[in-house]
């Protein structure tokens, strides 16, 4: 089952690692990842797509448990990365990170 998640978190040390670790550990495999920071609001916005055999609700609730996570939107319509980035750039965000994460072929 494919999933699409958007996570807004406080941009604290380790915030991105925590989010990705929860995804992996709970059985959600990211295929693409787009993360940007907003230094004015001190926010981290992570958008990812991937697949899992498990319910997206499980991931939502586990992500919401993380102390710095403010908002999780799961399964919503995917927005173009450029649009998301544009919104944050408009708020003065300069620290944009964009990369693809390729899942290994073994997870099925």
Residue numbers at the binding site for other proteins (CB under 8 A): 13-14, 17-18, 21, 25, 57-58, 61-62, 64-65, 67-68
User: Cβ 70 to other proteins, closest distance in Å?
Assistant: 8
User: Cβ 62 to other proteins, closest distance in Å?
Assistant: 5
* CB closer to other proteins, 27 vs 86: 27
* CB closer to other proteins, 65 vs 77: 65
Q: What is the spatial distance between Cα 74 and Cα 66, in angstroms, rounded to a whole number?
A: 16
* CB closer to other proteins, 20 vs 101: 20
With H, G, I as helix, E, B as strand and everything else as coil, classify residue 2. Answer: strand
């Amino acid at each position: 089952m494919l999933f699409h998640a958007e996570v807004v978190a406080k941009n604290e040390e380790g915030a991105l690692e925590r989010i990705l670790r929860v995804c992996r550990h709970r059985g959600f495999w990211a295929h693409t990842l787009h993360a940007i920071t907003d230094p004015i609001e001190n926010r981290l916005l992570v958008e990812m797509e991937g697949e899992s055999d498990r319910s997206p609700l499980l991931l939502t609730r586990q992500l919401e448990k993380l102390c710095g996570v403010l908002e999780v939107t799961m399964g919503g319509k995917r927005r173009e990365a450029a649009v998301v980035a544009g919104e944050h750039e408009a708020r003065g965000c300069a620290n944009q990170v964009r990369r693809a994460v390729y899942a290994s072929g073994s997870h099925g």
